[in-house]
Amino acid sequence: MYAVTTLEAHQAAPSDIARFVRRHWGIENRSHLVSDTTFAEDASRLRTGNAPRAMASFRNLAIGALRLAGVTNLAKATRHNARDHTRPLPFIGITT
């Protein structure tokens, strides 16, 4: 798999470039946009040490677990699960 900028002109047709761009925006909309709108990631004030990376990992874990459970509205599920600390546990395989 090549990034668009590493291809020579003869290596990519316009349809290939369009597919690469759509794939990029698919990732952007599926991952980064969700992190920002659901968890206000861009507003985070964590800037030093490992805290930003750790929080991004926790956000990604939450998003992945909810998606694996078949949740389609992540914001609603996040609000619902935030009300009781035991609700999210089954999403990561912990049963009480």
Rounded CA-CA distance 24/20 in Å is 6
Q: What is the largest CA-CA distance in the chain?
A: 59
User: How much is the pLDDT for 37?
Assistant: 85
Q: What is the mean pLDDT of the chain?
A: 83
User: How much is the pLDDT for 70?
Assistant: 92
Lowest mean per-residue pLDDT among 9-18, 24-33, 51-60: 24-33
pLDDT digits (tens, 9 = 90+) for 49-83: 999 999 989 988 888 888 888 999 999 999 998 89
Question: Which of 70, 68, 88, 90 has its CA nearest to residue 79?
Answer: 88
| The amino acid at 65 | A
Q: What is the pTM of this model?
A: 0.65
| Residue 28 backbone zone (phi > 0: left; psi -120 to 50: alpha; other: beta) | alpha
Q: Which residue has the tokens 């609603």?
A: 76
Question: Which of 43, 50, 40 has its CA nearest to residue 78?
Answer: 40
